[in-house]
Structure 1
Amino acid sequence: MTGSNSEAHVVCQVLGHVDLLTGISWCDQMQRQTRAVLGLLVNARGNRLTVSRIAELIWGEKAPSSANDVVYKHIRKLRGMLGPGADAVLKSARSAGYWLDPARCSIDAVNFRDLVSTGRFHYARGEFHLSASVLEEAIGLWRGDEAFADVREVLWLQEAAVALETERAWAEELRADCYLRAGRTHDALALLAALQVRHPTREGVWALSMTAHAAAGMSAEATEAFARFRVHLRDTAGLDPSPRLGRIHAAILDNVSPVELLMVMADVHCVTP
């Protein structure tokens, strides 16, 4: 399965460091500000950005007097990297600015979101093996844990990165949920152990972990996980677990069957981020 722009000749990557692939070669010598300009154009999702707007997003109120000239310089560099087909990919209008043509440019963040949407579709249909496979492909597009990793000093890109990282965390949870419902309990446990380290305050991760342990016949470990999360949440945020998580804990203490536990879990873990 592929994302939405699989026929494009140019690949832009932001799920990690910002990179550009033209033809068969990566433009790995891009300066940091060139990457920032590319990141802004990618994040604009085909909408037009004027040179002054790009300068404002990069420097804010600290923009130098030469900011527009610097932006033009990096636009020219991007055009040079794109080669003879630059005008078809990086479009411009005299007064309306610049934009990337979505039909000519494959963007990993777009493909990630499209695949997650497909995974949600299969999950809603009860096709858990297929949903897990699609979600694995989506998460496999990431090159590290941070989006826009080398240009996060640009506030707009930092905000976009946080949104993407949150969507990834949710997709990982849904993937673990699929593993559970497809009978892949040990795969779910392995994934959730890693997610607990990366997202120690995400309640969905702990709800799934408790459910997975109980489904594997490890009820003691499930109740221990609840206790650890409760202590961590109180220590870090001064909060208690939600009543929804409490219902899972109570079901585990009542020794409900794995099927019944998954029904309780359905009330806690929704298929929307």
Structure 2
Amino acid sequence: MREDQEWPEVRILGPVEITGSSGAKIDLQPQCRKVLALLVAAAGRPVSTGQLVRSIWGSGHPPHAPQMVRSHIRVLRGAVRHKTERALTTSTAGYRIAPDSCVVDAYRFRELLHEARTRWPLDPVGAAGTARAALDLWRGAEAMPDVVDVQSLRAEAAYLEELRFQAEEMLVLSSLRSGQTDLALPRIRKLAELHPRRERFWLQLMVAEALSGRLVEATSITFRQARHHLVKETGLHAPGLERLQRELLRGVQSPEQLLNLITQSNRSVA
């Protein structure tokens, strides 16, 4: 794909939409957006008419549902066409959007997140920038909120939103490792407030506070808040939280040691 060419863009990190090669947003009917999202979620695998019908309407679909699917496919085919190339192809196996024939924000997001994970041990500044670029692709906090009445798309949206949480964690982790504690602290504090049952956000907040000279706040106020949300409200154990508090009270202040304690804890409460 040449960088100087204008390609149609499909977006699902927010409401489902297509921006044509001219840059204009293309209006799509609700069921057409569902067909598009199902094809994007298939990640290059063909999806048959029957699969699309069952996903959108279920077993009690109207008799003309296959015709409606074919009509939506014609609309989408025109929308994602780039010059003489066809991004949406048809075969005996079904319909397929070729991943390299148009720009899909979810595909790019996953690529950037993978790159950030690869870079962060040796290049935390670069990893932070890459994670930030990945998060900038999101238009709001939810993926595909306009089509999640389709069960498979609801599951795909939940998966993408979990990856967004991981990108947020990577951005904060990389910022802390590169010494940008003052930049990381407000972000991770807000994330812990918005998602109080994710242990990793609380761990990162405690480390950010400790590294910025707020050790008492980290080991008392923040620890009690985190324990309330993670243990008292859910009835679960939070070993990573308690281990981090012990290490902070023991006097461990090495950024490397504290960040290792974060990366060793992978559990979050749903």
Match of 1:127 in 2: 123
Q: TM-score, normalised by structure 2?
A: 0.91
Are residues 1:33 and 2:27 paired?
Answer: no
Which residue does 1:61 correspond to in 2? 59
Alignment partner for residue 24 of structure 1, among 8, 22, 25?
22
**Who is 1:266 aligned against?**
260
Q: Deviation at 1:81?
A: 2.7
Q: Does structure 2 retain, via aligned residues, the 8 Å contact 1:47–1:99?
A: yes
Q: Which residue of 93, 97, 115 corresponds with 2:94?
A: 97
Shift of 1:181: 0.9
* Structure 1 pair 69–169 and aligned structure 2 pair: CA distance change class (3 A): same
Q: Structure 2 vs 1, CA of residues 117 and 9 (structure 1 numbering), >3 Å: closer, same or farther?
A: same
Partner of 1:231: 228
Bigger share in helix: 1
Counterpart for residue 245 of structure 1 = 241
Alpha carbons of 1:227 and 1:255: their partners in 2 closer, same or farther (altered >3 Å)?
Answer: same
Pairing 1:147-162 to 2, within 5 Å after superposition = 147-162=143-158
TM-score (norm 1): 0.90
Using a 3 Å threshold, how does the CA distance of structure 1 residues 238 and 5 change in structure 2: closer, same or farther? farther
Counterpart for residue 166 of structure 1: 162
Report the aligned-residue RMSD: 2.1
- Unaligned segments of structure 1, at least 5 residues: none
What is the aligned counterpart of 1:72 among 66, 70, 81?
70
Structure 2 counterpart of 1:111, which letter?
R
For 2:2 and 2:234, the matched residues in 1 are separated by 42
Q: Structure 1 counterpart of 2:108, which letter?
A: N
Query: Any conservation in 1 of the 2:81–2:87 contact (CA below 8 Å)?
Result: no
Report sequence identity in percent. 32
- Label 1:270 to 1:54 Cα distance change in 2 as closer, same or farther (>3 A): farther
State which of 7, 11, 22 in structure 2 corresponds to 1:13: 11
* Alignment partners' CA distance in 1, 2:89 and 2:191: 41
TM-superposed deviation, 1:36: 0.5
- What letter matches 1:183 in structure 2? G
Of 111-120 and 191-200, deviating more is 191-200
After superposition, give the CA deviation of every residue in 1:242-266 in whole Å (9 maximum; x if it has no partner).
2x22121011112322x1x531431
Tell me, in whole angstroms, the C-alpha distance in 2 between the residues paired with 1:209 and 1:24. Answer: 44
Deviations 1:67-113 (A, max 9, x none): 111111111221233457586111012x3211011221111111011
Partners of 1:128 and 1:178 within 8 A in 2: yes
Equivalent residues, number: 265
1:62 alignment partner, SS class: coil
Q: Kindly indicate whether the alpha-carbon contact (under 8 Å) linking 2:77 and 2:86 is maintained by their aligned counterparts in 1.
A: no
- Give yes or no for contact 2:215–2:248 (8 Å, CA) kept in 1: yes
- Which of 1 and 2 has higher RCO (CA within 8 Å, sep 6+)? 1
Residue segments in structure 2 that go unaligned for 5+ positions in a row: none
Deviations, residues 209-243 of structure 1 (Å, cap 9, x unaligned): 0011011110121021111111122343112322x
**One-letter identity of the residue aligned with 2:75:** K
Equivalent residues of 1:207, 1:265 under 8 A apart = no
Alpha-carbon distance in structure 1 between the residues aligned to 2:81 and 2:104: 18
Deviating more after overlay: 229-238 vs 261-270: 261-270
Residues 229 and 84 of structure 1, relative CA distance in 2, 3 Å threshold:
closer
Is the Cα–Cα contact under 8 Å of residues 9 and 23 in structure 1 kept in the other structure? yes
Counterpart-to-counterpart distance in 1, 2:233 and 2:26:
40
